[in-house]
């Protein structure tokens, strides 16, 4: 049987950055891994970032999440069957940040074919250590439902957060769990990711998962998250940062939750990850201006006009 791990985390938590490190650790052990990505939009920005992992020991696959729930389950099932037949030692699934945990467990447990092929390994939930409490019940639902199943809750950006912020983040997660009627049982790991040792990664790898029942406090299905994708944007770093800031501040664009992608200017290439609370910039070698804007109630035409202006 193939072991399958799930790496979750709400939009902007840093799960793709961790996945890069986790995948390299597994490959250093001689494992051949397959990574299954799915996200909203025609352009998967995270796939571009993960391309550097491709090689004899690692391959990337993608499922487009911009479809209804039944369609997504069919795509997910088909892709998992194909990956199990490829001979990977480990499959790692990184879904969108707005992810219903039931889809992962129900797909694997309610399907005889997949149940014979896969053994669920660990569920790892990544959470920003400086988590902001904005009172959004839907965001807290995704945060709590993902953390409730996690054997390990891995805090990101610990080096940028003080002890008070970290304690506040843990308390926020616990409150969110109480709000949906479940207890958070996973182990917290709060450490600068640049200082993670093989021992730390082994602990994360073996952290397992928890089966939890919880109330779906959002109305009906998950909210109608949508996205707008952009190719070959011409703005440099400073211009793009100003545009992103305006997207979050101007409600006429819709409820913008996440903006991510790559920008190039004369100084080089940059990766930008932005939420309502922060805009993070890192040097990177990718040389094309690719971006995705994710949110609800988006005025796509207005966003496109603005981004290409």
Q: Note the pLDDT tens digit of each residue in 61-104.
A: 988 766 677 777 888 999 999 999 999 999 999 988 778 888 89
Average pLDDT, the chain: 89
Residue 83 lies in a domain: yes
Residues 139, 278: one domain?
no
Q: How far apart are the first and last CA of the chain?
A: 52
Same domain, 117 and 245: no
Please tell me what DSSP assigns to residue 89: S
Tens of pLDDT along 2-58? 999 999 998 889 999 999 999 999 999 999 999 999 866 555 677 777 888 999 999
Q: Residues 150, 261: one domain?
A: no
pLDDT tens-digit series, residues 255-270: 998 898 888 887 778 8
- Say if residue 235 is in the same domain as residue 201: no
Q: What is the pLDDT of residues 185-233, one digit of tens each?
A: 999 999 999 999 999 999 999 999 998 777 776 544 445 678 888 887 8
Residue 27's CB: how many other CB atoms inside 10 A?
Answer: 18
Same domain membership, residue 238 and residue 200: no
Residue 160 falls inside a structural domain: yes
Q: Within this chain, do residues 138 and 273 fall inside the same structural domain, yes or no?
A: no
Shortest CA distance to 12 belongs to which of 252, 188, 261? 261
Assess whether 193 and 245 both reside in one domain. no
Output the six-digit token pair for 221: 């299905």
CA distance 33 to 35: 7
If asked whether residues 186 and 103 sit together in one domain, one would say yes
**Residue 118 domain boundaries:** 2-205
Q: How many domains does the chain have?
A: 2
Report if residue 46 sits inside a domain. Answer: yes
Q: In the chain, at which residue ranges do the beta strands (DSSP E only) sit?
A: 2-8, 33-39, 58-64, 90-94, 118-128, 152-156, 187-190, 225-230, 255-265, 268-274, 279-284, 291-296
């Amino acid at each position: 049987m193939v072991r399958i791990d799930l790496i979750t985390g709400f939009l902007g938590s840093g799960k793709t950055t961790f996945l890069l490190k986790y995948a390299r650790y597994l490959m250093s052990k001689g494992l051949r891994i397959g990574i299954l990505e799915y996200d909203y939009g025609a352009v998967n920005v995270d796939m571009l970032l993960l391309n550097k992992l491709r090689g004899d020991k690692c391959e990337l696959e993608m499922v487009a999440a911009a479809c209804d729930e039944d369609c997504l389950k069919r795509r997910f099932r088909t892709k998992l069957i194909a990956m199990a037949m490829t001979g990977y030692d480990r499959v790692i699934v990184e879904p969108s940040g707005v992810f219903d945990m039931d889809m992962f467990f129900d797909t694997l447990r309610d399907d005889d074919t997949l149940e014979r092929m896969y053994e669920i390994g660990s569920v790892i939930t990544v959470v920003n250590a400086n988590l902001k409490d904005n009172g959004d019940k839907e965001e807290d639902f995704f945060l709590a439902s993902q953390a409730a199943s996690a054997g390990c809750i891995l805090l990101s950006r610990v080096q940028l957060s003080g002890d008070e912020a970290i304690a506040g983040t843990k308390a926020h997660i616990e409150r969110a769990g109480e709000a949906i009627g479940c207890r958070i049982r996973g182990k917290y790991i709060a450490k600068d990711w640049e200082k993670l040792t093989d021992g730390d990664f082994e602990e994360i790898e073996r952290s397992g998962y928890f089966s939890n029942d919880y109330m779906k406090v959002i109305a009906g299905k998950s909210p109608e998250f949508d996205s707008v994708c952009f190719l070959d944007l011409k703005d440099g770093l400073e211009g793009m940062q100003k545009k992103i800031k305006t997207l979050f501040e101007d409600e006429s664009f819709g409820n913008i939750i996440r903006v991510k992608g790559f920008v190039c200017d004369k100084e080089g290439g940059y990766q930008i990850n932005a939420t309502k609370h922060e805009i993070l910039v890192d040097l990177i070698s990718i040389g094309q201006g690719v971006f995705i804007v994710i949110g609800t109630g988006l005025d796509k035409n207005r966003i496109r006009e603005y981004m290409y202006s």
